[in-house]
Structure 1
């Protein structure tokens, strides 16, 4: 199609007018993008330094840094599009609706995420601690954003949602450096309790893992069906809790035997009553 001079002139004028409007916007958008990217990088570096200074868990710090970076770049892109004259209101509305739908669909996961953030920030336990929670007793192997992995003492791995952990009680057996060792010991009726107490305390004194302060104690706690029950209490480092328990239970047993202190066992006294005299014993046939 042939173009006359007036048409070409009109097209050129339109292109020039568009360029005069568009080029400043494009230049402004490019400038805005690079300035925004510099600010985002500066903000991320500052945030990472704060994470290090406040000793935030590395996995949480990495996740929060990535999340913050994504949010900031999304805001920067929206700002750049707005600078170019693109209507972003509808786009923001679509993002809001999508976010609401995803939030409703992932309520449980969001609760676990929030629980994971709280656990990693407040640190009620850490990897390697022995805890009891949600009916599970074991050692913490990993703390992720959504789940915590616990290995119990028969080597089974249990995965616990962080939402449940953050909203229920947790017993941490490793948080304190010392623990009280408690042993239950029974002696036969008629035993001299002072002698039994002395034998037990002398046995405990031989174990260097047991702390002298607080000092070990032996307390009489109960008249059992077959025994006089004693509670033996002493303190040791948390790492030595079970070795001290097992070794001293065996040592106390051996000390009782060496000192003629009776260790009880279930027994019953049976009394026969024959109102018509003692019956004759019948001989069994050969």
Structure 2
């Protein structure tokens, strides 16, 4: 990049010196200036996207909304930041695909950085049957969540009835953990909550639909 701008400055100075020498010897340079102006305009229009990506790259490097290794959502792509360049940002998706995003698209859209803060909330929903004891279900869920070694005591986990579904009473379960422990907590609690709810006598209903058949006379 330094070599590119050095070359650009060098040739710019050379053109300026050439025009000055021609003018010194009485040669009209207006036509040369007009041609150079038109050429510069054409090049500028052709490289508009490149300059936009460069400017966005500078903004990213200055303000640092993310760093290498962060898990981000950028321009509709979720992945780990592998490289931050002046013109583009490279992501490795969670299934190990490489995605190169122009910096103009990165800076011009919403950026979600999952590693920006030290802690994250794990949002989960668990349903029990309408015939189950809600107090027992709530106590079982809360004790199981609080017993997990990676769940933080503060902020305290939230366990509340959030929805009366078609076939289940749904609890909103919202524990907090360190950002790096998010997926471990998420997977562990899904397994352990199913096991503990069944031990406590609560059912975990599956979606069902009642079909009524009406016989038409004749």
TM-score between the two structures when normalised by the length of structure 2: 0.83
Q: Is the 8 A contact 1:222 1:228 kept in 2?
A: yes
- Pick from 118, 130, 154 the counterpart of residue 95 of structure 2: 154
Matching residue of 1:170: 111
- Mark the runs of 5 or more structure 1 residues left unpaired by the alignment: 1-62, 277-286
For 2:15 and 2:71, the matched residues in 1 are separated by 48
For 1:88 and 1:257, the matched residues in 2 are separated by 93
Specify which structure has the higher proportion of strand.
2
Bigger relative contact order (CA 8 A; separation at least 6): 2
- Pick from 100, 106, 123 the counterpart of residue 47 of structure 2: 106
Query: What is the count of residue pairs matched by the alignment?
Result: 210
The alignment partner of 1:229 has SS state of strand
The alignment partner of 1:176 has SS state of coil
The alignment partner of 1:148 has SS state of strand
Answering whether residue 81 of structure 2 is matched by residue 143 of structure 1, we say no
Matching residue of 2:195: 254
For 2:15 and 2:209, the matched residues in 1 are separated by 87
Q: Deviations over 1:24-65 (max 9, x none)?
A: xxxxxxxxxxxxxxxxxxxxxxxxxxxxxxxxxxxxxxx4x5
> RMSD value over aligned CA atoms?
3.0
Distance 1:76 1:102, change over 3 A: closer
For 1:268 and 1:213, the matched residues in 2 are separated by 41
TM-score between the two structures when normalised by the length of structure 1: 0.64
Answering whether residue 173 of structure 2 is matched by residue 232 of structure 1, we say yes
For 1:88 and 1:68, the matched residues in 2 are separated by 27
Q: Is the 8 A contact 2:89 2:101 kept in 1?
A: yes
Distance 1:98 1:124, change over 3 A: same
- Pick from 125, 144, 154 the counterpart of residue 184 of structure 1: 125
Q: CA deviation at 1:188?
A: 0.5
Matching residue of 1:131: 72
Q: CA deviation at 1:98?
A: 4.3
Q: Is the 8 A contact 1:78 1:88 kept in 2?
A: no
Q: Is the 8 A contact 2:136 2:200 kept in 1?
A: no
Q: Deviations over 1:235-255 (max 9, x none)?
A: 111111111000011000010
Distance 1:68 1:271, change over 3 A: closer
The alignment partner of 2:123 has SS state of strand
For 2:113 and 2:194, the matched residues in 1 are separated by 31
Distance 1:269 1:71, change over 3 A: closer
Between stretches 216-225 and 144-153, larger displacement belongs to: 144-153
- Pick from 240, 245, 270 the counterpart of residue 186 of structure 2: 245
Mapping 1:202-217, distance limit 5 Å:
202-217=143-158
Q: Is the 8 A contact 1:256 1:262 kept in 2?
A: yes
Mapping 1:1-286, distance limit 5 Å:
63=1, 66=3, 69=6, 86-87=21-22, 93=33, 98-269=39-210
Q: CA deviation at 1:270?
A: 5.5
